[in-house]
Amino acid sequence: MYYLTAEASFDGAHFLAGYDGKCSNLHGHRWRVILKIKTDKLQSEGQQRGMVVDFGDVKNALKKETDFFDHSFIYEEGSLKEATVAALLAEDFEMHVVPFRPTAENFARYFFDKFKDYGFTVAEVTVYETPNNCASYSED
């Protein structure tokens, strides 16, 4: 089996609604997203002969998906009062609502599915929320 690994990061704020501890308060992370692609045989023809996939394609996908969240406030749908959301938007804050609790575990699954949509044979996605703490998702 061949594996290709690439990485990108983004800075984003979040909080965990309903959590009893520090993470219930708004805070930020430098999120690292590590994408691992697999294949049992390399491409045999064309420009990508001898490759799993073109690193440029992987880097572009990683950049697009991580740049979407960069320097934004990421919050779970239904976790903020409408007035709070309206006030933050009125201040022109970059905000992204997600249909899941914004944890490293859920981001790992989110990015796994996103990269599958690009047609990559994703083996695993790992998301670090701190330099020492990460979560991974794979379907194996």
The mean pLDDT values, 10 residues at a time, for the chain of 140 residues are 97 97 96 97 90 94 98 98 97 98 98 97 97 95
Q: Are the beta carbons of 11 and 60 closer than 8 angstroms?
A: no
Give the annotated binding-site residues for Zn(2+): 14, 27, 29
**CATH numeric code, 2-137:** 3.30.479.10
Active-site residue, 96 included: no
Tokens encoding 122: 């994703």
Task: Give the pLDDT of residue 117.
Answer: 97
Task: Give the pLDDT of residue 140.
Answer: 79
Task: Give the pLDDT of residue 43.
Answer: 85
Within 8 A by CB and 6+ apart from 33, the residues are 7, 8, 9, 10, 62, 65, 66, 107, 111, 125, 126, 127
Give the annotated binding-site residues: 14, 27, 29
- Boundaries of every domain in the chain: 2-137
Q: Taking the chain, what is the end-to-end CA distance rounded to the nearest angstrom?
A: 14
Question: Active site residue: 7, 23, 94, 105, which one?
Answer: 23
Active-site residue, 71 included: yes
